[in-house]
Structure 1
């Protein structure tokens, strides 16, 4: 198991980031790759989860160990794979997710891409009462502010990231008019879109 990768953010795209360390570039899938955009060219620590199946070996990365633990717990639920786990965590509010599971709020859980009633019920059955200890009292904001954003193309990048998370074009089209009225960085657009999609 690779506990973490520490290195320079070399590349950011809608699905993953590349962290270069000692001349090797690690492709790491993250919930919101654009949250790492402000860190490009700087050294970061990404806590990783190595996913191994017959036909795939992939690294999934997170800003905190708590977020990684939550991802691992989600993977234990029947019907949730890595892509689904990333989509759920991309909303950026793990506490809200835990509250929905504890309150057995199936309607909220069904708003995530790929989560139907059966999977939502399974999440509640498998995870209720097992997640509160995972989250630290002061989990850092998973979407760092981008103080000097490159705004051109930010909305297009956000739309591509939402597609990569599994949201359908028809769902994305509903929130784009609201987003167009705002000027933000890519990760801020993603966070805002997810807030709107989960309403």
Structure 2
């Protein structure tokens, strides 16, 4: 199993990034690929988890070891697969998720795609009191927002289109996205910022 990969960010898409390591391009699925936009062409370390099933072999990647640890804990919950865990991590607010688990706020947890009442209850039963090592001292800035200096979107709002594609890949329905799209289109943001803002609106 790969603990991490150190390489150059060669490509960023709605679902994954491609990291070049000594001429080999690794396709790595990440919660929000566009957080790496400011690092395209630069060398980074991405913490990885190899998921193996009889019908799939996938490599998942994360900005920090804490984010990777949270992913592993989430997929250990019955009813949550890698895609569901990625959608939760894409929210980018681990402290809020942990607080919801600790306070047994099922209503908050069921707003994530694929998480129903039964799965939310299972999350609470399995993870409550067991996440201190993921966010030590409930520090809210473990997954700090990457400074992003990519240019603003063009007249066709390409950044918003990319964000909506990424959110669709995470499991959000067209109906859900249509509700938040008008609020997003009224602002000028980067793709990463659109995704984070959309997730905040979806979680209300």
- One fold, TM greater than 0.5? yes
Q: Which residue of 2 aligns with 1:177?
A: 182
Give, in angstroms, the shift of residue 142 of structure 1: 4.3
Q: Which residue of 1 aligns with 2:49?
A: 49
Residue 146 (str. 1) matches residue 148 (str. 2): yes
Q: Which residue of 2 aligns with 1:122?
A: 122
Distance change (3 Å), C-alpha of 1:51 and 1:176: same
Unaligned runs of 5+ in 2: none
| 3-state DSSP of counterpart to 2:26 | strand
Contact 2:95-2:140 at 8 Å conserved across structures: no
Q: Which residue of 1 aligns with 2:161?
A: 156
Runs of 4+ in 1 over 6 A off after TM superposition: none
RMSD after superposition: 1.1
Taking the aligned partners of 1:11 and 1:147, their CA distance within structure 2 comes to 17
Any idea what the Cα deviations from partners look like across 1:152-183, whole Å, max 9, x if unmatched? 30000000000000000000000000001110
Aligned length: 199
TM-score when normalising by structure 1: 0.97
| 3-state DSSP of counterpart to 2:20 | strand
Q: Which residue of 2 aligns with 1:194?
A: 199
Give, in angstroms, the shift of residue 150 of structure 1: 4.0
Taking the aligned partners of 1:151 and 1:18, their CA distance within structure 2 comes to 22
Residue 35 (str. 1) matches residue 35 (str. 2): yes
Unaligned runs of 5+ in 1: none
Contact 2:152-2:188 at 8 Å conserved across structures: no
TM-score when normalising by structure 2: 0.95
Q: Which residue of 2 aligns with 1:4?
A: 4
